[in-house]
Structure 1
């Protein structure tokens, strides 16, 4: 929280002669960094509107963050495709993600490397599966409480992820046809506390995706991950006519072998 008596330089309505203490300038820059994390990909104009800063002040802070390697520019194609030049949007860089906290990941990565060497890659996969099974058990009551609506369940999952520091959100994408609207939902995560670990051991991303599929009751697909160089983790959630959430117990089918079938 920031004191209401400390008005950042460049904020709307602030006199030009106002002098800002150095620590306030640093805190203001941290606010811009956090806003890029939560809103990215985001334009300078959108940041200025949400933070109440003048365009000049926002660009000054963005330039400083860019020089420090904490944010970077992504060129986003305009909609409809091909209309005008790609828009400039700001996102956190890998260094910016790391600045927000990846404590003990080096130790964890070293331990998992030792585990793989001693017991094989299967042991690492089993470890990752157990980790996300615990997460699934915590999230299951929250997601199930949202009901059978796939959009509501995804929103509940997004809220649970955000509470754990993943800065998650949902958005609906699609296009209209004369007789129908084809839509899908994207579950986005702006921050990954274990990004560096997942980069070295992608099985963590794989197991997380499986948990999302089980919680939402539909087959989901990963479009991008922070660990693989994306500016956000994006999971595609289909919402077609035939895509309705199915409870895990309904999706489970016991397959008997020929010898096990009753005669």
Structure 2
């Protein structure tokens, strides 16, 4: 119960800093109705986790005080509707230039990602390339795990799709991801399950050519 309360209080602190801007310990304590010592404990945890940062600010009167504000990492905790903007823009592009132009955009994105990551694959065995690709996708928010079967087949499972809203409407995004995997891995890759098509995950079966 105490741990749940602590996490709830930290969420409130983060929301306060998001909506009210940089705040001093005394201001946070007053608004929460708890002691400054308790506030400092929460702030220490949030600062350790890289979610807030402090800056010493000189006052017109009295000693300088620390003001706490959110880091860029904390900003990612709050809801974003980027996909709505993306879908609106892609919809406008379809009306102006046709579906083929949107597919070309996905193709160009695929090529840029291949250029960005192919150096990490060079000189590696297939298993090491699969591991490197899983790490890349994890860093991009796909919540990936991978495994190797006894027959030499590798499996990559993506449990989250950051672009699922876009891929639901523009399936070419999924096709480009598959092609990117094949190019980076230099292997035969088959998608055996897909989040966009109702699966519990996106799953890829990988075999050496």
TM-score by shorter chain over 0.5 = yes
Q: Is the 8 A contact 1:218 1:237 kept in 2?
A: yes
List alignment gaps of at least 5 residues for structure 2: 11-76
Matched residue, 1:134: 112
Question: Is 1:221 the counterpart of 2:190 in the alignment?
Answer: yes
Pick closer, same or farther for the CA change 1:119–1:155 going to 2, 3 Å. same
Question: Is 1:198 the counterpart of 2:167 in the alignment?
Answer: yes
Question: Is 1:150 the counterpart of 2:119 in the alignment?
Answer: no
List structure 1 runs of 4+ shifted beyond 2 angstroms: 19-27, 99-103
* Alpha-carbon separation, structure 2, partners of 1:225 and 1:101: 25
1:231 CA displacement: 1.7
Q: Is the 8 A contact 1:102 1:193 kept in 2?
A: no
Aligned counterparts, 1:1-263, within 5 A: 9=1, 19-20=2-3, 22-24=5-7, 103-144=81-122, 147-173=123-149, 181-238=150-207, 243-244=208-209
* Alpha-carbon separation, structure 2, partners of 1:100 and 1:229: 26
* Alpha-carbon separation, structure 2, partners of 1:101 and 1:25: 17
SS at match of 2:7: helix
* Alpha-carbon separation, structure 1, partners of 2:157 and 2:114: 18
Higher helix share: 2
The count of corresponding residues between Structure 1 and Structure 2 is 144
1:216 CA displacement: 0.7
Pick closer, same or farther for the CA change 1:26–1:201 going to 2, 3 Å. farther
* Alpha-carbon separation, structure 1, partners of 2:84 and 2:181: 27
Matched residue, 2:48: none
Which TM-score applies when normalising by structure 2?
0.61
Q: Is the 8 A contact 1:143 1:215 kept in 2?
A: yes
List alignment gaps of at least 5 residues for structure 1: 1-8, 10-18, 28-98, 174-180, 245-263
Which TM-score applies when normalising by structure 1?
0.50
Pick closer, same or farther for the CA change 1:20–1:208 going to 2, 3 Å. closer
1:158 CA displacement: 0.9
Q: Tell me the alpha carbon deviations over residues 135-170 of structure 1, each in whole angstroms, 9 at most, x when there is no partner.
A: 1111111122xx341111111111111112222221
